[in-house]
Structure 1
Amino acid sequence: MNQDTSGNAFAPWNDASEKPLITFKNVTKKFGEFVAISDLNLDIYAREFFALLGPSGCGKTTLMRMLAGFETPTSGVIELAGQDIAAIPPNKREVNMMFQSYALFPHLNIWDNIAFGLRREKMPKDQMEARVEEMLRLTKMEKFARRKPHQVSGGQRQRVALARSLAKAPKLLLLDEPLGALDAKLRQDTQFELMDIQESTGTTFVIVTHDQEEAMTVASRVAVMDHGKLVQVDTPDVIYETPNSVYVADFIGDVNIIEGTAEANGESVSLTWAEGQPALIGSANQPISKVASAAMAIRPEKIAISSKKPTDRTNVLQGKVLDIAYLGNISTYHVQLDNGTVIKAQIANTRRIARRNFTWKDPVWLSWTDTAGIVLAV
């Protein structure tokens, strides 16, 4: 996570004295009868790398297009640095947008692509040249300045588009699925480059993505969206470890969802879920009524798998190995319980596998602690 100049963790959203850079106040956006954004309130702070995450059609792109000025709210107010931006046209906002397609000019070389917006603003020649060179250095594209876009790789074109977007020093840079066209390895490398560039420029980035791993990697905070509403806005670790709903738990990362009825018992919550199976004990980050319809969300990496029944774990279930997925760094075991429920458990592969401890059809015990599973109201 970002650091501020004093070396503390960057978290202006926890400081009541900090004023947000962007504020959405009761913003609704309708297209005819369809409600794309519904009465949304959100604050985004200067120097944040903020991610809007959700499935197709959840409203994240509409939110970004309103920030850019390509759409106007049906009702509500959007403020940038305390100013209502409704009446400000897109080209007059201190906002730049980087599209998934990069939208580079094929007939111009990379230097001229980056300089394009500065020329249109009639920036003095010496300032413009210094700014373009600075952007080339920032994106490590100095050696390619005289090449045309088709003469460099997809990842390099992505960097050129980023350099051009940052050249005008916007207060806010919007990134619409910026890494969607890159292959998996390059996308991962580019995510870290984006983070470095964002931190070194101090520009506020807002990224739209449906890729949960990307959002969790790059963002200081993530807004998980569904049907035009914000379901949870928090730091990646909080969203992963303590989701506020089954929707968020299921959308972010791999998870087992076990449904049943819950009863609060002091600090912990007991989930009765299947005949012949022991009740499961977990924690809750929201009040659970005496007997409530609920579900436990438990991450596969928090579940231990063993050939003998453990005696030091609160939650213990028995089953048989149904399937094994070897993913290099981890192996995922699908274990079927006596009642037919399948639970996923993950083990890190810390050394080369000569032979597995467990194989298909083996009887095994699954176990986890009383704080590993989160119980959520359904």
Structure 2
Amino acid sequence: MSTSEFAPWEDPEAKPLIRFQNVVKRFGSFTAIHSLSLDIYEREFFALLGPSGCGKTTMMRMLAGFENPTEGQIELAGKDIAGVPPNKRAVNMMFQSYALFPHLTVWDNIAFGLRRDKMSKTELEARVEEMLKLTRLEKFARRKPHQISGGQRQRVALARSLAKAPKLLLLDEPLGALDKKLRQDTQFELMDIQEKTGTTFVIVTHDQEEAMTVASRVAVMDEGRLMQVATPDKIYESPNSVYVADFIGDVNIIEGRASGAGDDTYRVDWSEGQPPLTATSSTEFDKGQTCHLAIRPEKVTISAEKPADASNAVQGKVHDIAYLGNLSTYYVELSSGQIIKAQTANTRRIARRDFTWEDPVWLSWTATAGVLLAS
């Protein structure tokens, strides 16, 4: 599902499935959530992303019904859900630990919630088989949780959560226990399942790569506040603050003072003895205003000679090299002591590197490569 065809948040007529309105949550004298407002739409795969203690799990627990807001309200499908007990909400939650019953088979684990709802035997069997097929677990139906792998247990927990066809599924760090390779595979499975069922998924994660991979939109949180809510590409390419730029992916942050230099173009004075930088921005900066230029390492070109026509070029020497197989990141130290990272794709299979430690190099980038931020 490409974002271009699915963007209910851009439609003023679209009604959100979930609406947080000025929600405050306090625990004693500690405020975990500060007057937070947020809309999440049907069929979204929405990610709450942030470091530990930023309030993302508190938001999820309020949606699930384990906590109530201190102030403000939370609506689900247009109804205020404050005071509605967890088992009476059209919401299911998948826990990080999966919380499977060890003594029950995979089949019975999935059937557990349906049995409690007194579903007829025929309907129940059909629904469990449908869930097994959806999560590709048919072969493991008679096994117990300890007889299957971590990735398979994760799928059982997902199948059990989806069996009751909730309007909303909450996933709390669902892939945290899986190794990197399996986690990547499972991310695509989750997206596939979410699309097939049409259920709205809200995932809580501190793993930026995970949020950027699975989500239709991401909410970056810090200390109980929403810093930015946008599609993954906007969060990456157009962060609205140094915090978001720094939290998502790898970035160079250069602090300086801005002064206007024509249409949406600014001169950035940033370091004694270094030529000023040129950057474009639709945000207005006053003359001499402190600014931060955020540039992704892959947008910085490294070369042995000074490029003739670059808007921005600085000289330094290679301080460190991180070789990641498909990419090499060069940490280049400027005469001021500042380190700037440049990344190159290793497209050819060669044993030697273009640059090595202590080599003098030039770094260059275009005026539009970075984002000029006020804070």
TM-score range, shorter chain: over 0.9
Q: Counterpart of 1:146 in structure 2: which amino acid?
A: R
Query: Which residues of structure 1 form unaligned runs of 5+?
Result: none
SS in 1 for 2:139: helix
Q: Counterpart of 1:372 in structure 2: which amino acid?
A: A
Task: Find out whether 1:270 has 2:261 as its counterpart.
Answer: no
Could you say which residue in structure 2 is the equivalent of 1:299?
Answer: 296
Could you say which residue in structure 1 is the equivalent of 2:313?
Answer: 316
Q: Counterpart of 2:41 in structure 1: which amino acid?
A: Y
Partner of residue 67 from structure 2, selected from 49, 68, 71: 71
- CA–CA distance in structure 1, aligned partners of residues 283 and 81 of structure 2: 37
Could you say which residue in structure 2 is the equivalent of 1:367?
Answer: 364
Task: Find out whether 1:208 has 2:209 as its counterpart.
Answer: no
Deviation at 1:262, TM superposition (A): 1.2
- CA–CA distance in structure 2, aligned partners of residues 286 and 96 of structure 1: 42
Residues 49 and 218 in structure 1, CA contact (< 8 A), matched pair in contact too: yes
- CA–CA distance in structure 1, aligned partners of residues 117 and 52 of structure 2: 36
Partner of residue 333 from structure 1, selected from 315, 326, 330: 330
Residues 244 and 285 in structure 1, CA contact (< 8 A), matched pair in contact too: no
- CA–CA distance in structure 1, aligned partners of residues 80 and 60 of structure 2: 16
Task: Find out whether 1:255 has 2:222 as its counterpart.
Answer: no
Could you say which residue in structure 2 is the equivalent of 1:132?
Answer: 128
Partner of residue 94 from structure 1, selected from 90, 113, 128: 90
Residues 219 and 230 in structure 2, CA contact (< 8 A), matched pair in contact too: yes
Partner of residue 121 from structure 1, selected from 113, 117, 125: 117
SS in 2 for 1:105: coil
After superposition, residues 102-181 of structure 1 pair within 5 angstroms as: 102-181=98-177
- CA–CA distance in structure 2, aligned partners of residues 22 and 209 of structure 1: 19
Q: Counterpart of 1:363 in structure 2: which amino acid?
A: P
SS in 1 for 2:153: helix
Deviation at 1:353, TM superposition (A): 2.2
Could you say which residue in structure 2 is the equivalent of 1:246?
Answer: 242
Residues 65 and 83 in structure 2, CA contact (< 8 A), matched pair in contact too: no
Deviation at 1:371, TM superposition (A): 0.2
SS in 1 for 2:130: helix
After superposition, residues 3-82 of structure 1 pair within 5 angstroms as: 9-82=5-78
Residues 254 and 299 in structure 1, CA contact (< 8 A), matched pair in contact too: yes
- CA–CA distance in structure 1, aligned partners of residues 279 and 106 of structure 2: 55
Q: How many residues align?
A: 374
Structure 2 length normalisation: TM-score? Answer: 0.98
Structure 1 length normalisation: TM-score? Answer: 0.98
Deviation at 1:285, TM superposition (A): 4.7
Q: 1:285 to 1:225 in 2, by over 3 A?
A: farther
Could you say which residue in structure 2 is the equivalent of 1:288?
Answer: 285
Residues 68 and 83 in structure 2, CA contact (< 8 A), matched pair in contact too: no
Q: 1:285 to 1:235 in 2, by over 3 A?
A: farther
Q: Which aligned runs of 4 or more in structure 1 are off by greater than 2 angstroms?
A: 283-287
Deviation at 1:264, TM superposition (A): 3.0
Deviation at 1:35, TM superposition (A): 0.4
Could you say which residue in structure 1 is the equivalent of 2:185?
Answer: 189
Residues 102 and 157 in structure 1, CA contact (< 8 A), matched pair in contact too: yes
Q: Counterpart of 2:293 in structure 1: which amino acid?
A: M
- CA–CA distance in structure 1, aligned partners of residues 64 and 286 of structure 2: 44
Q: Counterpart of 1:25 in structure 2: which amino acid?
A: Q
SS in 2 for 1:77: strand
C-alpha offsets along residues 106-138 of structure 1, whole Å, 9 cap, x if unaligned? 000000000000000000110110000000000
Deviation at 1:87, TM superposition (A): 2.3
Query: Which residues of structure 2 form unaligned runs of 5+?
Result: none
